[in-house]
Copies of this chain bind each other. A is one copy, B any other.
Amino acid sequence: MSPRPPDPAVRAALIETAARIVATEGRAALTLRRLAGEVGTSTMAVYTHFGSMEELRREVRREGFARLRARLAAVRDSKDPMADLTLLGAAYYLSATASPNLYRAMFLDGPVDDGDLGTGLDTFMYLVKAIGRCLEAGRFPEAGGTDPAELALEVWGMTHGFVSLQLANLLPADQAAEHLSSGVRSLFVAWGDDPAKTGASAARARRRLAELSPG
Contacts and interface: CB of A to CB of B under 8 A. Distances in A.
Instruction: Name A's interface SS.
Output: helix
Contact of A190 (B153, B169, B189): B189
Given A158-B158, A190-B189, A153 B168 contact: no
Given A157-B161, A179-B154, A170 B120 contact: yes
A162 B161 contact: yes
Tell me how many chains of this kind the complex includes: 2
Interface string A150-183: 1001101111111011011111000100011011
Contact of A187 (B110, B159, B161, B183): B183
A179 B155 CA distance: 10
A156 B171 CA distance: 11
A164 B108 contact: yes
A186 interface: yes
A contact residues, range: 35 or more
A157 B159 CA distance: 8
Given A160-B164, A161-B158, A169 B117 contact: yes
Contacts of A171: 153
Nearest to A180: B157
16 contacts: A108-B168, A111-B167, A112-B168, A154-B179, A154-B182, A157-B158, A157-B161, A157-B165, A158-B158, A159-B161, A160-B165, A161-B161, A161-B162, A164-B164, A183-B187, A187-B187
